[in-house]
Amino acid sequence: FIAKLIEKQFSSDLLNSTYQNNTNNMREIDEIIIHCSATRPDQNISAADINKWHIKQGWEGIGYHFFIKLDGTVERGRPINQVGAHCKGHNSNSIGICYAGGTVRYNDQAYNTDTRTPEQIRSMYMLIVILLYCFPTIKKISGHNQYAKVDCPCFNVEDEYGNLIKTLEEQSLFR
């Protein structure tokens, strides 16, 4: 069931790389950290755009491992077996997921808010479930705002995903 669900939403290239990276020189991963791009919902950005922005900041490339576009498409960022650059002090043991959005403009001022589309919400949930399946060592799902004085990801990750690991364990779906 899970395999069919995954195949419907995610490309085989994305899935193959996730599984391959899980077995080849993998670092210890025990957390997923969620981010937003702090862009407006009318900005149709991609992982390639984030990559360019991060290189301009002097980084090696995109700091997130996955990026979720407005239409729910999940794109690869930094390979999972490489340490991310998305949450200071928590990169070595985590996977970073970023969604496009998180900011709206009103009267020439920017406001941080949850701008996720239904497609992004669905893809994020499914991606998290896949990652929990691939990495049974993951024990925590957090928002960037739990580690820094930022609004990112502009929704309460604890409210949305706080019981997901426990629920999946109780249902014995894959742990």
- Mean pLDDT, 10 residues at a time, over the chain (175 residues)? 51 53 74 96 95 94 96 95 94 97 86 94 94 91 95 95 86 62
Q: What is the pLDDT of residue 168?
A: 82
Residue closest to 74 by CA, chosen among 66, 64, 82, 65: 66
Q: What is the pLDDT of residue 139?
A: 93
Q: What is the pLDDT of residue 14?
A: 57
Q: Is 6 helix (H, G, I), strand (E, B) or coil?
A: helix
Which pTM does this prediction carry? Answer: 0.86
Q: What is the pLDDT of residue 15?
A: 52
Measured CA to CA, the distance from residue 110 to residue 97 in angstroms comes to 23
| Contact between 46 and 67 (Cβ < 8 Å) | yes
Q: Which residue has the tokens 């957090």?
A: 142
